[in-house]
Amino acid sequence: MRFPDGGLAVLKPGMAALITGGSFYQLENTGKAHMVLMGHRSGNQDNVMHIDYVTRQDKSGRPKVRNRATGAEQGPGE
C-alpha cells in the first residue's frame, strides 16, 4: 500500500489493513498469485465516491451539483 505522503506498507498473506473513509491509498499486487481483497463500508451508499489517486478527481460517474448555500460545485457526500 502506498500513501500520498510517501508512506509504504507491505502486507503479507494473512494480514489485514483498516483504512478509514476519506483516506487516499494505492494497492499493488507484488506477488505471483491473485490478490484477494475483502472490503466493508459503513455509511450511506449514496455518498460513496471513487477518487483517482493521482488526480484526486471523482471517478464515480456521479454528476456534481451546486451547493445552494455556498454556490460551490460538489460531488456526492462532500
Nearest-CA neighbor of 56 among 78, 21, 24? 24
**CA dist 8 to 5, 44, 60, 69, Å?**
9, 30, 26, 39
Across the range 14-37, mean pLDDT stands at 85
CA distance 24 to 22: 7
- Helix, coil or strand: residue 46: helix
**CA 30 – CA 77 distance, rounded (Å):** 33
Mean pLDDT of 39-61: 76
Which pTM does this prediction carry?
0.50
pLDDT given at position 7: 92
The identity of residue 52, as a single letter, is D
Q: What is the mean pLDDT of the chain?
A: 78
Share of the chain above pLDDT 70, in %: 69
pLDDT of residue 6: 92
pLDDT (mean) for 51-75: 70
